[in-house]
């Protein structure tokens, strides 16, 4: 496990000390950055441009005492390196170290294990059941809509203009519900 220690405020306000100038990390593992703050709580910013090796780009940390940050290096990436920059004191202090990514050795694949207890459903087969339910609801919705409109008309004794407005509002809400339901899948 690769570890880099960063000491903050040990030599004075916003001082910044790194345990190393370069660190080697194997692909598929993580780099651990350990912060030790000897003074008052402070902000530290880590920044790198390493999109070929990791998701990490930027982190602003508020450090009281000790903290640790894990930066995962993707598995299967090639060898290479990138710089990690540390900034404290609102940009007043900057340091950097190099992360050397070492290509991992591929492990020998073992024979696949096949379990025959449960049938394996393809994605299209999984969706087939939910599509049938959606089709049934879509077919029944106009009938329900008509029933609601007739019930409104009879129970509320609405005149023609109010009834048309109520029908339009109801149909717009219904269309929104149907669109939302179909957009989930």
- Rounded to the nearest integer, the mean pLDDT of the chain is 79
- The DSSP output letter for 112 is P
**Is 0.85 topped by the overall pTM?**
no
pLDDT digit string (tens) for 111-150?
Answer: 555 545 545 455 544 455 555 566 666 666 666 766 776 6
pLDDT at 25 over 60: yes
Question: For the chain, what is the total number of helices (H) and then of strands (E)?
Answer: 2, 9
CB-based burial, 67-84: b 16+ in 10 Å, e otherwise = bebebebeeebeeeeeeb
pLDDT of residue 102: 92
Average pLDDT on 103-111 reads 58
3-state secondary structure of 37: strand
């Amino acid at each position: 496990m690769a570890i880099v220690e960063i000491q903050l405020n040990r030599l004075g306000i916003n001082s910044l000390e790194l345990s190393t100038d370069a660190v080697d990390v194997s692909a598929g593992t993580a780099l651990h950055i350990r912060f030790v703050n000897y003074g008052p709580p402070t902000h530290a910013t880590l920044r790198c441009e390493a999109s070929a090796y990791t998701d990490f780009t930027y982190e602003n940390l508020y450090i009281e005492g000790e903290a640790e940050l894990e930066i995962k290096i993707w598995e299967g990436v090639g060898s290479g390196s990138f710089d990690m920059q540390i900034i404290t004191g609102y940009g007043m202090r900057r340091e950097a170290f190099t992360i050397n990514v070492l290509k991992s050795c591929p492990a020998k694949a073992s024979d696949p294990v096949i379990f025959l207890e449960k049938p394996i459903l393809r994605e299209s087969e999984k969706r087939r059941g939910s599509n049938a339910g959606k089709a049934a609801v879509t077919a029944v919705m106009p009938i329900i809509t008509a029933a609601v409109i007739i019930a409104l008309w009879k129970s509320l004794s609405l005149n023609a203009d109010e009834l048309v407005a109520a029908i339009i509002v109801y149909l717009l809400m219904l269309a929104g519900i149907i669109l939302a339901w179909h957009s989930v899948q």
